Structure 1
Amino acid sequence: MSADDDDITEELLADAGKLTGLSLELLGLDPHPDDMTAEQRLQFDPEDLAEMAAVPPQDRQQAVRQTRLLAGLLWNSSSILIDQLFRDLDTLSNLDTVTAADIAGTSVLSSLPPQFAASYDAKFTRKFIVVAADVTATLARGWTTPGCLAAELAVRCLLDQAEITEDIYELELPEDWRADVEEVLLEDADSEALYSDSLDVLEDDADELGFEQWFKPFAAGDTVPPYACS
């Protein structure tokens, strides 16, 4: 590991405390029985509690460090995500028309479902920035399930950015962290189907997955920023 890698690791560990909207347990860290209340311990079988308590202190410290590193990475990636979306917007604002090739050269929009690339114009990007900013804000104010398809896609873009940083700096994160985080942040998400190569999937669910549905709330209790709904 280089000095730069050490620097980014310490920076991310420092950022971990800013991610107040998600607990380390939600990010995959198994709690220690000594840190639980009596009520919380009742939620686990005695065998599971014994297994948690039997984890060697050194392994426990490593798991805590890796999960804190993941928390800091998500915080850091949320800032990079918004910054790069503004760069994408600046790029698109200079184009008369948008093609799939244009989107392929962008930083974030290129991670969205490619079938709709020609629709990712400046107006769409402005709406997506607002939704993405709202999603990343929940990392601080308290996580809430994405309220529309665009919000789910913003989460996927956030995790994509986190993976890029992980690969660049060879970060030591929890094994299979993305799958674990997606299980929490994108539980029962419909947006994965948008990446399907099968046109039948998109056509059959056009009423729910069509491009015009992306900024519409899933249900009456879900919220989407007013600008994105306009």
Structure 2
Amino acid sequence: MTYVVTVETCIPDDAPDLDALGRFGAVVLIERGFGSVAGAEGPDGVEVDVLDVVVAARPRGAEVTVTVLAPALEAAEDAVGAVAQEVLDRAEQLTGWLVVTSEVRLQPERVQESLAAADGPDAPPSDPAARRARHTAARPGGPDDHDDGTWSEIGEDAPDPETEIRAMAGRLRSFPPAAFGASPDTAELAAGALVHAAEVLIDELYDDVQTLADEDTDVAACQSHLWHLDRLPARHAAHYDEPFARRFLVTAVALTTRFTDGGFHHLGCLAEELVLRFLLDQARVALDLYGLLDDDVETALERFRAHVHAADGTPADEAPDPLGFGTWFTPYGADRYVHPYAADTPEDEPAEEPEGA
């Protein structure tokens, strides 16, 4: 039977919170560790096959979702927990990390129903991003409760996806509810969806980087599934190789960090414009999957987009056209921020493409 085991890990109590790059590094190390594992042993030597691993890092650790084939739930939980601890122990940079829990949170029957419905009327969404959003759970947590036009706090034990998404709204620290031009209730839902979308987007962009690295190719020639990079303008697909993908991922980390740490002032470059589009699309996918995307929320997300562009003095419908390629990571001005890892250098300018290409 197929089981989805969720492993919660934590960093040492005396260690500082992981920043954005620290979380990215943890994801890389944990995924590499599991990548070398084809199977594991449960109680009494019962064999368990590892099918898929998704890692989502948090400030105080990481959540690892492992899909396995196992004869019983207990075997799946014990085997995955043991392998996860072994992966942590092997990585020197993760010294002191511990497995806190290893448990199946989804009912096995629900997993079987999903697989059985693959070709039926109840089939999961055909779009891979939509499927991933369906199974990626938002994490609770909000700021202190206020009644002064800022975000309100929601309890940590969120019982359903809507409550969990709303609980994330307070993490969008660079934007007050007024940025959405909607009622407080609608603004809270839209803000939480953006924070949720940021986590999913960064996970999936990392997967895209790894896919291009594994195939040693670019998007134009890639034979495997990609989450987002194949949605960039197709005429430049041959330029979207692993180094480009890494720069785009770092840009997404930098922009969403500024959104959530209170430090956002302006979009820094054209690549950030594209990240913003992906972020809004991902938020809509998650809301739609949970039946939460109505006209009011859609309007709130559009007003948020306009608010972000208003910081530049540029209407959203006059944002730069992404068809040009050579300056995607070039700062819009001396006062704009682009992460040093991603910033354009003269040699990044691609050779001119022949007319009609």
Same structural fold, with TM-score higher than 0.5 when normalized by the shorter chain: yes
Matched, 1:70 2:190: yes
8 A Cα contact 2:212 2:219, kept in partner: no
Q: Within 5 Å, give how 1:98-137 maps onto structure 2.
A: 98-100=218-220, 102=222, 105-137=225-257
Residue matched to 1:157: 278
Match of 2:251, SS? Answer: helix
Deviation at residue 175 of structure 1 after TM alignment: 4.3
Match of 2:175, SS? Answer: coil
Once the two structures are superposed, residues 92-129 of structure 1 have per-residue CA deviations (whole angstroms, 9 ceiling, x without a partner) of 10123324363893112133222212211110011111
Residue matched to 1:16: 169
Deviation at residue 168 of structure 1 after TM alignment: 1.1
8 A Cα contact 1:150 1:215, kept in partner: yes
What letter matches 1:12 in structure 2? I
8 A Cα contact 2:219 2:230, kept in partner: no
Once the two structures are superposed, residues 133-168 of structure 1 have per-residue CA deviations (whole angstroms, 9 ceiling, x without a partner) of 110011222222211111111111111111111221
Matched, 1:138 2:138: no
Larger Rg: 1 or 2?
Answer: 2
Matched, 1:26 2:179: yes
CA distance 1:22–1:103, change in 2 (3 Å): farther
In structure 2, distance between residues paired with 1:175 and 1:216: 31
What letter matches 1:113 in structure 2? P
Aligned length: 180
Match of 1:94, SS? Answer: helix
Q: Matched residues, percent identical? A: 36
Once the two structures are superposed, residues 10-47 of structure 1 have per-residue CA deviations (whole angstroms, 9 ceiling, x without a partner) of 10111111211111001223xxxxxxxxxxxxxxxxxx
What letter matches 1:117 in structure 2? A
**Which range moves more in the overlay, 7-16 or 138-147?**
138-147
- Which structure 2 segments of 5+ residues have no match? 1-136, 139-158, 346-357
Matched, 1:81 2:201: yes
Once the two structures are superposed, residues 155-185 of structure 1 have per-residue CA deviations (whole angstroms, 9 ceiling, x without a partner) of 1111111111122112145242332122112
More helix by share: 1
CA distance 1:175–1:77, change in 2 (3 Å): closer
CA distance 1:74–1:106, change in 2 (3 Å): same
In structure 1, distance between residues paired with 2:319 and 2:236: 13
TM-score between both structures, scaled by the size of structure 2: 0.47
Deviation at residue 211 of structure 1 after TM alignment: 1.3
CA distance 1:110–1:164, change in 2 (3 Å): farther
CA distance 1:103–1:151, change in 2 (3 Å): farther
Counterpart selection for 1:212 from 310, 319, 326: 326
Match of 1:212, SS? Answer: coil
Q: Which has the higher contact order (CA 8 A, sep 6+)?
A: 1
In structure 2, distance between residues paired with 1:185 and 1:105: 31
Matched, 1:178 2:306: no
What letter matches 1:20 in structure 2? R
Match of 2:226, SS? Answer: coil
Matched, 1:228 2:356: no
CA distance 1:191–1:120, change in 2 (3 Å): farther
In structure 1, distance between residues paired with 2:251 and 2:241: 15
- Which structure 1 segments of 5+ residues have no match? 30-62, 195-201, 203-209
In structure 2, distance between residues paired with 1:114 and 1:13: 35
What letter matches 1:183 in structure 2? A
In structure 2, distance between residues paired with 1:103 and 1:135: 29
What letter matches 1:224 in structure 2? V
In structure 2, distance between residues paired with 1:96 and 1:72: 36
In structure 2, distance between residues paired with 1:123 and 1:77: 24
In structure 2, distance between residues paired with 1:82 and 1:103: 21
8 A Cα contact 1:112 1:157, kept in partner: no
| Structure 1 ranges of 4+ moved more than 4 A | 189-192
8 A Cα contact 1:74 1:159, kept in partner: yes
In structure 2, distance between residues paired with 1:193 and 1:104: 28
In structure 1, distance between residues paired with 2:283 and 2:222: 23
What letter matches 2:328 in structure 1? W
